[in-house]
Amino acid sequence: MKKLIISMLSVIAVAAAGSVYAGSNEGVRCIKKGSTVQAVYDKGSNGRTVRRNIRVGSSYKGGQCMGRCGAACGGWLPSAWTKDCLDHDICIVDQNGQNGGAGDTNCGDEFRQAADDYITGVIRGCRG
């Protein structure tokens, strides 16, 4: 448990640091399953912007449950569904599922922007 708390705190610290310079961290913005939302990410950490209209919860090019915070569709625990997690999901799918987490070349900044969503999304009521 102690280890879990420490790892959660480090993710929050990364999220806080990321929010200082990242342009498009939208805080924790809930999105509804079944609605169509425009995902936005960039190549690199400040590169060409890519926009895609995606139905939240759908599968997209081999990725499942677009917009859910966490990998694929998860298990029985309640899930958060947010805009920053959708941006990260689409970024990962567009680079053929390669996911380097916070250090990822193209999607690392999107990962950091989604960290607060992942930690607090369910508590804030973003259950889709």
Cβ burial 18-55 (10 Å sphere, 16+ → b, else e): beeebeebeebbbbebeeebebbbbeebeeeeeebebe
CB closer to Ca ion, 94 vs 116: 116
Residue 94 in contact with Ca ion, rule: CB under 5 A = no
Q: x/- site string to Ca ion, residues 102 to 121, per CB under 5 A?
A: -------x---x--xx----
89 part of the interface to Ca ion, by CB under 5 A: no
CA distances from 113 to 2, 44, 59, 73 (A): 25, 14, 22, 20
Site string for Ca ion, 44-83 (x = CB under 5 A): ----------------------------------------
